[in-house]
């Protein structure tokens, strides 16, 4: 975590829990989200800390779009399959209104809010019901459409994975974890893990993620 200058240009992330009000144990959900945010922050540090703000909402700021998208997927995978979240990422200016309380404003936050609202509306339609991540930017940005197309396809693959494939994907997001280690953890052969990574699209998600996380 580092300090942020007033009116800095950042990519900010706003997330909330899907169908949180139907949970029978909201304390357990809250604790799971806190743990997921802490684990993600340790791998992809944000500017002022990835944190829960009000109710079921969490947010953070990043220097690059790639870092914000990296954090977004890691939070989801840390929570799935028991809890799912929708996330909006916005690029623009950020003004610190109250550094002590962590209150910020600016076009990046408005863009992120518009993105998460778009995700929620889009996921209500059957063909795009698996969408969980969206991106908006201040002003003219030719990359917005391409990034959202990639996110739509990536989220479809993630939303189609079995519980075991989700665990494999989450494990392989950590570069020091091998397929052999995951096979031992799952109680299956290494070849079974390799086949599932190929057949279920886990490898495609990882490849797409590497491209997205490199975005400036």
Q: Which domains does the chain have, with CATH numbers?
A: 8-140 (3.30.70.270)
> What is d(CA 160, CA 20) in angstroms, rounded to the nearest whole number?
21
Tell me which of 1-5, 72-76, 160-164, 177-181 is least confident.
1-5
> What is d(CA 115, CA 112) in angstroms, rounded to the nearest whole number?
5
pLDDT at 149: 97
Res. 3: pLDDT tops 70:
no
Going by C-alpha positions, the residue among 16, 38, 6 that lies closest to residue 108 is 6
Identify the residue with better confidence: 21 or 94.
94
């Amino acid at each position: 975590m580092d300090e942020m200058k007033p009116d800095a240009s950042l990519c900010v992330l706003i997330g909330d829990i899907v169908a949180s009000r139907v949970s029978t144990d909201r304390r357990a959900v809250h604790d799971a989200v806190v743990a997921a945010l802490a684990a993600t922050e340790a791998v992809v540090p944000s500017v002022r800390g990835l944190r829960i703000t009000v109710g079921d909402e969490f947010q953070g700021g990043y220097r690059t779009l790639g870092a914000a998208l990296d954090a977004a997927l890691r939070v989801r995978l840390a929570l799935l399959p028991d809890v799912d979240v929708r996330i909006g990422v916005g690029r623009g200016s950020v003004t610190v209104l109250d550094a002590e309380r962590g209150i910020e404003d600016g076009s990046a936050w408005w863009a992120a809010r518009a993105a998460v609202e778009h995700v929620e509306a889009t996921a209500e339609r059957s063909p795009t019901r698996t969408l969980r991540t969206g991106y908006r930017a201040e002003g003219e940005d030719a990359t917005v459409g391409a990034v959202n197309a990639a996110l739509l396809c990536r989220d479809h693959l993630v939303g189609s994975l079995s519980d075991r494939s989700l665990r494999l994907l989450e494990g392989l997001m950590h570069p020091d974890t091998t397929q052999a280690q995951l096979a031992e953890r799952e109680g299956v052969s290494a070849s079974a893990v390799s086949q599932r990574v190929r057949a279920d699209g886990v490898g495609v998600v990882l490849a797409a993620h590497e491209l997205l996380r490199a975005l400036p």
